[in-house]
């Protein structure tokens, strides 16, 4: 489909477009919009010029084949021959989600190569694949959270049609696709938005600088830029869900918050396409208003990430107490996280130095909270990007509590076989000053987080700009076939199968889940209807009283658990799943 190129540049007196045939004046329209006098064919490279200035990439560029500083390329999203007409969609609620980074998921680091590993996810029992950001970012490799061409698909990953092929292939296997998108800031290199219009404001600030302009008198087209971006992925790329990065940094004091407006726009598209579409917020606020319907005064998100469950689980199993783990680490804290959603729910947060969060109303569906024992942040933002330093029993305990709990579980790539490869922070900026600033900033950040308590005084933070840091973070798929890793992988498969086949484990009714623990904190039992998940957190065997009569020992990690009446004998660092 051939269409004109349009751009919002309200402060420009003249806008031109450079095409292969030469520079052409664009036509001014209402509200600061400009368009080409004629449609531009798909596959055409172009640059935009404001008031005779240098050529700039299009803020809504669908493709940056030569990188974020190069020309944009038109793309006909409607030309792809979709084969997913029979795809009915899948809500994120209760789905087993699998987060992956395209660049390190396979040796090739492309979307097409990732298709070749989808059958592994099907065999594991995954319902939804979550891609870390694919919007175009500087250089070849990076996490994607410094994207600057938010409508484009990173060229080294394969460009826009590769994303369509990936989604089509996932749907053919019964897998939904969630895309991680970043609207709260742009990266420092290749960010040309401010030259086109008032996309940013000094009225608000975020950790990345001036905030996106969402509530000024001139914010309407900026809000539209964000909403159109979200709708594009869901409509033109058939994506099923979006994970919205750090929504607490979308600062909006207007009468109608951007997220509420986005929620209603997605609901309208959902009715149009006839399949479920989900919005999953990463929020640091610990406030269920995020997932409360807009009709009830909420922001209307389908779900939100719940870091408190991760912190409670990680701190209890590893013993780490530095940084934001300072308020966590007891079995009681873990019990609270598994039954009450948040640990900080209007209570004092030692890390923040203030009261934080709010209690979650009892009638809120527990599946609206996404939980995990590993994710890109909690691994990659460690000093050396290492995964949890747990024995296999600790990994099994962690997996059982996440996968069989009341929330929506998410796995991080390689977790299912106990991958030993790290996931480190890596960037590929060409500007020497920026590269050095990132190196120094990363080192300074870790110096303030108490990592010496974990690694010792001589810990060396990997150089984010080194290609070796990126290469070290690639999964080693051969590991999954080694006996120790294969055993853990099979246990994960068993847990996921239980979640899919046991109705009690699919329930999001919080009243259906009860969690108990003794005063000494040595074990924990999570009851989900007739299913009990019992974990021994100690190193030594424990005799654990079970609520009700045990009818069946369904699954265990060591296979050495035994039941006598209502007493379960469980080896150290072990887990058993019972039917009572």
Active site residues per annotation: 245, 282
3-state secondary structure of 509: coil
Please say whether the beta carbons of 241 and 53 come within 8 A: no
Please say whether the beta carbons of 339 and 308 come within 8 A: no
Q: What is the helix (H) or strand (E) element at residue 228, kind and residue range?
A: helix 220-236
Bridge-partner residues for 508, per DSSP? none
Rounded CA-CA distance 551/467 in Å is 55
* Residue given tokens 């950001």 in the structure block: 133
184 closest CA partner among 321, 117, 284, 96 = 284
Residues near 81 by Cβ (< 8 Å), separated by ≥ 6? Answer: none
Q: Give the number of C-alpha atoms closer than 13 A to the C-alpha of residue 94, restricted to the C-beta side.
A: 14
Rounded CA-CA distance 423/421 in Å is 7
3-state secondary structure of 338: helix
Sign of CA dihedral 323, 327, 330, 333: negative
1 closest CA partner among 57, 62, 46 = 62
* Angle of the 483-501 helix axis to the 392-403 helix axis, nearest 10: 20
Q: What is the DSSP string of 92-161?
A: STT--EEEE-HHHHSSS-SHHHHHTTHHHHHHHT-SEEEEPP-EE-SSS---STT-SEEEEEPGGGTHHH
Cα dihedral 158, 160, 165, 171 in deg (nearest 10): 130
3-state secondary structure of 257: coil
Q: Please tell me the chain's helix, strand, coil percentages from 3-state DSSP, rounded to the nearest 5.
A: 35, 20, 45
257 closest CA partner among 287, 232, 289 = 289
3-state secondary structure of 392: helix
Q: Are strands 531-536 and 523-528 parallel, antiparallel or unpaired?
A: antiparallel
Q: In what order do the strands lie in the sheet with 574-579?
A: 513-516, 523-528, 531-536, 574-579, 552-556
* Residue given tokens 């658990």 in the structure block: 561
* Angle of CA points 558, 560, 565, to nearest 5°: 135
Centroid of chain to Cα 234: 16
Please say whether the beta carbons of 364 and 302 come within 8 A: no
Classify residue 448 as left (phi > 0), alpha (psi -120 to 50) or beta. Answer: alpha
CA distances to 84, 96, 387, 541 from 394, in Å: 40, 20, 12, 14
3-state secondary structure of 14: coil
311 closest CA partner among 349, 345, 343 = 343
């Amino acid at each position: 489909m051939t269409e004109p190129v349009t751009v919002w540049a309200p402060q420009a007196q003249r806008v031109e477009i450079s095409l292969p045939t030469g520079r052409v004046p664009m036509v001014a329209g209402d509200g600061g919009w400009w368009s080409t006098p004629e449609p531009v064919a798909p596959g055409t490279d172009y640059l935009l010029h404001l008031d005779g200035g240098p050529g700039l990439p299009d803020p809504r560029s669908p493709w940056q084949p030569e990188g974020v500083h190069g020309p944009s390329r038109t793309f006909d999203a409607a030309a792809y021959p979709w084969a997913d007409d029979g795809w009915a969609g899948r809500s994120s609620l209760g789905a087993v989600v699998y987060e992956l980074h395209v660049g390190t998921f396979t040796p090739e680091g492309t979307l097409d190569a990732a298709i070749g590993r989808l059958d592994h996810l099907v065999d594991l029992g995954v319902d939804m694949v979550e891609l870390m950001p694919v919007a175009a970012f500087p250089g070849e490799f990076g996490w994607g959270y410094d994207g600057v061409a938010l409508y484009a698909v990173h060229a080294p990953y394969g460009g826009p049609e590769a994303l369509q092929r990936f989604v089509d292939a996932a749907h053919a296997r019964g897998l939904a696709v969630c895309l991680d998108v970043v609207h709260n800031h742009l990266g420092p290199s290749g960010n040309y938005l401010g030259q086109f219009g008032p996309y940013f404001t000094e009225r608000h600030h975020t950790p990345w600088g001036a905030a996106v302009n969402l509530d000024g008198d001139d914010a309407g087209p900026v809000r539209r830029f964000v909403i159109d971006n979200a709708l594009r992925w869901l409509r033109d790329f058939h994506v099923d869900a979006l994970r919205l990065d750090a929504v607490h940094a979308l600062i909006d004091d207007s009468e109608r918050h951007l997220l509420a407006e986005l929620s209603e726009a997605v609901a309208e598209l959902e009715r149009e396409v006839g399949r479920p579409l989900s919005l999953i917020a990463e929020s640091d606020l610990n406030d269920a208003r995020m997932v409360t319907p807009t009709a009830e005064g909420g922001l209307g998100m389908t779900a939100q990430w719940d870091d408190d469950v991760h912190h409670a689980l990680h701190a209890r199993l590893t013993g780490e107490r530095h940084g934001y783990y300072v308020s966590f680490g007891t079995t009681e804290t873990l019990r609270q996280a598994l039954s009450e959603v948040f640990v900080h729910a209007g209570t004092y947060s030692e890390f923040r130095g203030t009261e934080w969060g709010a209690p979650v109303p009892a009638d809120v569906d527990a599946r609206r909270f996404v939980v995990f024992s590993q994710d890109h942040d909690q691994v990659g933002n460690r000093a050396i990007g290492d995964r949890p330093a747990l024995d296999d029993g600790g990994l099994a305990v962690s997996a059982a509590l996440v996968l069989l709990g009341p929330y929506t579980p998410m796995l991080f790539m390689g977790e299912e076989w106990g991958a030993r490869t790290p996931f480190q922070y890596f960037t590929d900026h060409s500007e020497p000053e920026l590269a050095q600033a990132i190196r120094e900033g990363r080192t300074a950040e870790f110096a303030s987080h108490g990592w010496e308590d974990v690694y010792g005084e001589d810990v060396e933070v990997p150089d984010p700009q080194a290609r070796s840091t990126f290469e070290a973070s690639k999964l080693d798929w051969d590991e999954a076939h080694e006996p120790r890793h294969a055993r853990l992988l099979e246990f994960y498969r068993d847990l996921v199968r239980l979640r899919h086949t046991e109705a009690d484990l699919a329930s999001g009714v919080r009243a259906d889940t009860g969690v108990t623990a003794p005063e000494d904190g040595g074990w924990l039992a999570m009851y989900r209807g007739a299913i009990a998940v019992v974990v021994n957190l100690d190193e030594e065997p424990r005799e654990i009283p079970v609520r009700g009569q045990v009818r069946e020992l369904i699954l265990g990690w060591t296979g050495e658990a035994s039941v006598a009446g209502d007493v379960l004998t469980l080896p150290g660092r072990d887990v058993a799943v019972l039917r009572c």
